[in-house]
Amino acid sequence: MSEATRKFFEALERHGHERLLKKTNGTIRFDLERDHEVDHWFVEIRGGVVRVSQQNRAADTVIRSDDAFFDRMVRGEAKPHPAWLRNDITFKGQIRLVSLLERLFAPPPNARHPRIAARDRGRQG
Amino acid sequence: MKTDLVRILDGNIFVLSDGSGDIEATPNVPTGYFSFDTRFLSLWRLTINGERVSTLAMDDPSYFEARFFLVPGAPTHYVDAKVSVIRERAVAGSFEERLTVLNHSGGPAEFTVRVDAGSDFSSVFMVRQERTPAGRLYQRVENGRLHLGYVREKFRLETVISTTEPAQVDEQGLTYHIRIEPHGQWTTMLHVRGLVLHPDGQDMRKHLTPPRQQRDTARLQHDLRQWLDKAPQLHCDWKPLERTYQRSLVDLAALRFSPLALPTEPLPAAGLPWNATLTGRDPILTSLQVLPFTPDMAVNTLRMLGIDQGSVLDDFRDEEPGKILREFRYGELTAFEENPTSPYFGAADSTPLYVILLDEYERWTGDAAVVREFEDEARAALHWIDEYGDIMGDGYVWYQRRNERTGLENQCWKESPTAISFRDGRLPSLPRATCELQGYAYDAKIRGARLAREFWHDPAYADRLEREAADLKERFNRDFWISDGEYYALALDGDGRQVDALSSNIGHLLWSGIVDESRAPKIAEHLLGPRLFSGWGVRTLAQGEGQYNPLGYHVGTVWPFDNAFIAWGLRRYGFHQEAGQIAEGIIDASRHFQGRLPEAFGGYDRELTRHPVQEPAANSPQALATAAPLLLIRTLLGLEPYGDDLVVTPALPERFGRIELLDIPGRWGRVDAIGSVTSQEANAADR
């Protein structure tokens, strides 16, 4: 697996709760494909607390992606919902967890606070 | 949008056809079978022995069914009806059509029945344009079924057409060679499914849990009966009110759909045909209007919009943490990010409105658990107002898109590009802070304070919100007041100027309570004055303003929902007679649309046209307009929760005579409210 993937899941266990709603509950298994192999990551969220393991267990939602595309989502360069519509990733189970993913991945690179954006635009005239 | 098209719908799935049931889509006549924001049929044409059919009669027994009585041949003064066709269709999760051919002659007869079928798989956004598809279209016959398909990279859509009677199926349609006995008949059932394919070839919705309910016409009939039985009963001496109320209840049922994430919790799609989808402001404002009648819609709306609440900064989607979405779509343009609707967050009103709905819901239902369940979402929304809405750092809510290619320039409910303008028609600079946004922010803070104090056990936060609200009201009354016109500016612009056009937005300010008591009489006078009031209702923009156009979407037309909120606001400030006048005008207008109020109608003077002119591109049914008569009824009867009781203070114009609303649900159980012109006094009886 890629270094970025490993780092993402490690950070998720430590800091995931900071961006999740307290009431969030559920399990997600990520099946990440790479050279005809599949890495499994099992993420359990209970009351906003996140636990991560590499077990291949039944989950509320199973997300399948190739590891390169997954890394793009981790970096905020690709969004899960349109990727699911395009079949670049697939989903089985509870679709509400797609929206949850949006909270876990990084924001798109170069995203601006509206105040900064308005100020920059003002300068350009 | 041609208004004579036949529409049947099941939430966000619908069929638009011509009066014979045929679909022959063109940019000017955007008919079709639509689902998943995509057209799955753009051609559906019936011929008998090579002849097109003409319509003798059409009826639609329910919102999801239509029946056409047809004969072959062009319509002439004489119709030789040796043969006729009954075409019965329904949309219930998918599209079904029963064709019955009747032989009226004394001898056996042979017929060739042909159904031409095709699909362009156009996105609902593009149906009014000529467009070369980015992917590849295909047709295939397999096991007696016609598969029409579209593929672009790994994205695949398919329309699958099957028939119960044997047919010759080719890539352009189905042909039946039939023989019918004298005075006999022949019937086949056609079934059309619109599929969004997972890589394994199954519909991707098949992989979602909990599984979606099977939909069929029997279930929809049953649901509709239950829905109507649960709603309060209305009796009124003035029949147009009863008629529009019944029509609205049925249309609200029709517009309900269950988003993929919440398959058992329906909320209203925004409108047919252009907005048959999840949006932010439409279900919130609709739920607010229908709270006294069907409160469940509010909680489903809060839950769905909470799931998709913004969590990061994203310029493409104009997203910020805590923001409530504007629109969520599923089609090709969303998938390939040719537009930002995955979801798009370009709306500055939906976030404060979310908090307002949560509070109003509790006031009616007493459902404290919901207020606690959505505490995080409501706090994030309140935080959004100060941190991300306040672009200029001066305490007002502003908007300016960061997605300059496909984002929206105006992010209030009046979204069209010229909706926000100066008196002379010039457009203001960016960012813009429209006045009603400040009213919503004020109201959200006041209501948020109540929730914090009573349910979240956070009195310090409540105090802070109240201080901020009081401060906002004071500044607003100073900075937005136009002294020479004696009304509130439509907006402030990026250069700090008052955008000085006179608009209906000032009516929403009354609803929010941000108007100083001393100024309210002037606002009421403007709203009912000749420049804003057309005789039917309040125009979006006053006659005489540079951008005014009686048919302009947000610059002159009359919107029923806008008027319902204005009437509610007028009552809040004690202008009962003025509120009644607006209610009477809008209900009177509904008579010209068989009780179904359109999204908007022309702003012409009532004296000039005598009947209201439907805005040509309007959605119908549209959730906001559908709900408007219900809020008007609430306003006329003066329904207001007070503690655990429902207070009723009716104020009716003469014409209504007597209004009885029975079995109003709420924290009091069920209660009746009765108002009449003669007594004009409260009459609420506990059951």
DSSP conformation class of B198: -
Place B684 in a pLDDT band, splitting at 50, 70 and 90: very low
Whether residue A36 lies within 8 A of chain B, CB to CB, comes out as no
Any chain B CB within 8 A of the CB of A117?
yes
pLDDT (mean) for A87-103: 85
Number of H-type helices and E-type strands within chain B = 16, 32
Rounded to a whole number, what is the distance in Å from the CA of A108 to chain B's nearest CA? 6
* The pLDDT of residue B260 is above 90: no
Contact A102 B337 (CB under 8 A): no
Structure tokens at B360: 């109003």
CB contact under 8 A, B314 and A111: yes
The residue in chain B having the minimum alpha-carbon distance to the alpha carbon of residue A19 is: B311
Q: E strands within B327-448?
A: 327-328, 433-434
> Is the pTM here over 0.90, yes or no?
yes
In Å, how far from its chain's centre is CA B211? 26
**A86, A95, A121: residue with CB nearest B260:** A95
Residues of chain B contacting A95 with CB distance shorter than 8 Å? 208, 260-261
Which 3 state secondary structure label does DSSP give B33? strand
Q: Which residue of B has its CA nearest to A82?
A: B335
Give the nearest partner residue to A87 out of B199, B398, B494, using CB atoms: B199
pLDDT at A44: 93
Is the CB of residue A72 less than 8 Å away from at least one CB of chain B?
Answer: no
pLDDT band at B131 (very low <50, low <70, confident <90, very high): confident
Count of beta carbons in the 10 Å neighbourhood of residue B108: 11
- Cβ distance A111 to B313 less than 8 Å, yes or no, reads yes
What does the H/E/C string look like for chain A? Answer: CCHHHHHHHHHHHHHHHHCCCCCCCEEEEEEEEECCEEEEEEEEEECCEEEEECCCCCCCEEEEEEHHHHHHHHCCCCCHHHHHHCCCCEEEECCHHHHHHHHHCCCCCCCCCHHHHHHHHHHHC
Q: Does A114 touch chain B (CB under 8 A)?
A: yes
Decide if B314 and A121 are in contact by the 8 Å CB cutoff: no
Going by C-alpha positions, the residue among B644, B650, B636 that lies closest to residue B671 is B644
Would you call A102 and B402 a contact, using CB atoms and an 8 Å cutoff?
Answer: no
With bands split at pLDDT 50, 70 and 90, how would you rate the model's confidence at B619?
Answer: confident
Place of tokens 């006999």: B184
Which of A15, A87, A90, A120 to mutate to probe the B interface, most B CBs <10 Å?
A87
Of B308, B314, B315, the CB nearest to A99: B308
CA–CA distance, B321 with B396 (Å, rounded to integer): 18
The answer to whether A30 touches A6, Cβ cutoff 8 Å, is no
Measured between CA atoms, the residue of chain A closest to residue B334 is A82
pLDDT digits (tens, 9 = 90+) for B399-444: 999 999 999 999 999 999 999 999 999 999 999 999 999 999 999 9
- Smallest CA-to-CA distance from A94 within B205, B263, B202, B209 is with B209
Selected residue of A81, A90, A91, A113 to mutate for chain B interface (largest B Cβ count, 10 A): A81
Alpha helices in B392-512, H assignment, sequence order: 435-454, 459-479, 505-512
Determine the distance in angstroms separating the CA of A1 from the nearest CA of chain B, rounded to an integer. Answer: 24
Of B209, B342, B373, the CB nearest to A82: B342
Minimal Cα distance from B343: which residue of A?
A: A81
Output A123 or B529, whichever has higher pLDDT. B529
C-alpha span between B687 and B683 (Å, rounded): 13
DSSP assigned state of B519 = G
Whether A110 has its CB under 8 Å from any CB of chain B: the answer is yes
């995955």: which residue's tokens? B342
Give ipTM to 2 decimals.
Answer: 0.96
Nearest residue on chain B to A22, alpha-carbon basis: B376
Which residue did the predictor score with more confidence, A72 or B618? A72
On the CB side of B305, CA atoms within 13 Å amount to 40
Tell me what the mean pLDDT of segment B523-529 comes to: 98
Which of B245, B349, B367, B249 lies closest to B300 in space, CA to CA?
B367
Q: Compare all CA atoms of chain A with the CA of B199 and give the residue at the minimum distance.
A: A87
Q: Which of B342, B377, B402 is closest, CB to CB, to A79?
A: B342
Nearest CA-CA distance, residue B661 and chain A, Å: 38
Cα–Cα separations (whole angstroms), residue B233 to B221, B289, B560, B661:
19, 17, 22, 6
The candidate with the shortest Cα–Cα distance to B46, out of B156, B171, B169, B176, is: B176
Rounded to a whole number of angstroms, the distance from the CA of B658 to the nearest CA of chain A is: 47
**pLDDT tens string B387-402:** 999 999 999 999 999 9
Read off the pLDDT of each residue in B157-166 and give the average, rounded to a whole number. Answer: 98
Nearest chain B Cα distance for residue A83, angstroms: 7
In chain A, whose CA is at the least distance from the CA of B331? A85
Q: Rounded CA gap, B294 and B315, in Å?
A: 37
Chain A partners of B277 at a C-beta cutoff of 8 Å? none
- d(CA B51, nearest CA chain A) in Å: 41
Chain A: give the shortest CA distance to residue B262, in Å: 8
The structure tokens 């925004």 sit at: B270
Judge: A118–B337 Cβ closer than 8 Å, yes or no. no
| Pairing mode of beta strands B684-686, B669-676 | antiparallel
The residue-averaged pLDDT of B105-129 equals: 94
User: What Cα–Cα distance (Å) separates residue B583 from each residue in B465, B525, B577, B659?
Assistant: 34, 16, 10, 13
Residue B312 to residue A118, Cβ atoms within 8 A: no
Backbone angles phi and psi of B656, in degrees to 5: -75, -20
What is the pLDDT confidence band of residue A47, given thresholds at 50, 70 and 90?
Answer: confident
Q: If you measure CA to CA, which chain A residue comes closest to B392?
A: A115
Res. A125 pLDDT band, cuts 50 70 90:
low
Q: What percent of chain B has pLDDT over 70?
A: 97
Q: Do B388 and A22 touch (CB under 8 A)?
A: no
Residue B260: count of CB within 10 angstroms of its CB = 17
- The residue among B389, B384, B415 whose CA lies nearest residue B282 is B415
Is the CB of B315 less than 8 angstroms away from the CB of A118? no
pLDDT at B195: 97
Distance CA(B509)–CA(B569), nearest Å, equals 7
Taking only the tens place, the pLDDT of each residue in B278-312 is 999 999 999 999 999 999 999 999 999 999 999 99
Is the per-residue pLDDT at B453 higher than 60? yes
Mean pLDDT of chain B: 95
Name the token pair of B365: 């239902």
Which residues in chain B touch residue A19, judged by CB atoms under 8 angstroms apart?
A: 311
Contacts of B621 by beta carbon, 8 Å cutoff, 6+ apart: B251, B254, B255, B271, B272, B596
Q: Which of B193-202, B390-399, B676-685 has the lowest mean pLDDT?
A: B676-685
Best to test chain A binding among B36, B37, B209 (most A CBs inside 10 Å): B209
Q: Do B315 and A110 touch (CB under 8 A)?
A: yes
User: Which residues of chain A have a CB within 8 Å of the CB of B398?
Assistant: 118
Provide the number of CB pairs (under 8 Å) joining chain A to chain B.
Answer: 110
Interface contact flag, B494 A122, Cβ < 8 Å: yes
